[in-house]
A and B are shown apart, each in its own frame.
Chain A
Amino acid sequence: MAIDVSKIIHAVMEGSKIRESKGIIPLFGVYLSLFSVYYYNRLSFDFEIKMGKPREAEARALLIKAAQECGYATFQGIRDSWEWQQVVAPMVENQEDQILGFVAVAVAFGWGDLAVEELVPGEKLVIRANDSYEARGYLEQYGPAKSEKCYMLRGVAGAFMDLIYGSDYPDGLYAFSALETCCRAKGDTCCEFIARKSPYRPNA
């Protein structure tokens, strides 16, 4: 059975309208918040600016690391959740389907129109987006970029591979790392993320 993206989007949209009495949204095993993309873009890109030219690479690495750690913990929670078991698991026939399920959840979360272009089991994942909130936000708020800007999605692409082909949770983090090979923020036609086995493991 193929992964039905619209079914997953529907489940996330319906679930995100249910919150408990404390104003918290517990969904897919995590606490969800809904907030303007402007906030996330302002925070990331101004962080990069405040770090300045000499610390530009460090700023990017920190933002990607924050996202990869998040993606690893978040999607581990998601695949362990009751909602995943009910909605997604019946469509999953192999490990590769899990990645398609993860990508569908990311689309449901409003991160962009992500699609898996290529998946070589245990080796390589290629994800493309014609529209991500990071690239669009950068263009709108800062104008054309000189380098790729989708730090969150880049970290998350690595985390997807960590969860499926890395060591058992929680030891598989950073087994893979992703590059953003093209980005709409710098004038490319789409954003593309390629995750492969990491040559090194940060902080390992």
Chain B
Amino acid sequence: MSKPTDALRDERYLRHYELLSEDARQRLLSTRFIVAGAGGLGCHVLELLVRIAPVQLEIWDPALLDAPDLNRQALYTPQDLGQPKAMLAVARLSAINPGIQAVAHVRSLNATTYNEQHHNTLQSTQGSSAPSPQTAHSAVLDCLDSFGARAGIEPLARDLAAPIFHGGVELWYGQSTTLLPGFGYADAFGPDFAVKAPAAKPILPHIPALIASLQVAEILAWCESPDSTPLSSVLCVYDGRRHRLDHIRWR
């Protein structure tokens, strides 16, 4: 009988297969990745993940594609303008890797919407199917664009005992950290984190690409070692003007 991780023996994964332990492969395939936001960060995180493995994805984003999104949201083309990004992302990602199991939700993610959705039959799109019953873990990918929205996903992550892989970008700058269960946004960003000002609109396209790469590196680190990752006690801050990375410990 074949092991579940035999799915990663496909030739398309040959370049990185041996770089992941068997435990990491197992966790990668048995985790439901709940992705909040299919914008600048989300596009890059998602594309990297589906190229690494035939992952299980839920993609949550209420927004329609606007022209200014095209400077950095790498899954979309001008022909997609006006369509829901979550649906577009599932279609594009399924074309990149037909082995994924991906579901689009054209709404904001929070504990209430998640529970409503999971009380109903999950709708599949573009030939993709609902997450498999072999799901053993959940992980929340924070690719959101405001701290108010982040306050909405934290109770869900707590309910699921799921880590949050956080990214944030603005102008020439970005940050990434991993919030393991028991450590939240308020611990990391202060008790008033949810009322922080919305992001300034200008953003260079390579900034979310870089921060998304850090998020994916953290996901792989978590698959190897779920109790501790390089950024689970550290804020990684990127200054794109000086091309500089700093690590700030939370405590």
Q: Do A and B bind each other?
A: no
Interface positions of A (Cβ within 8 A of B) = none
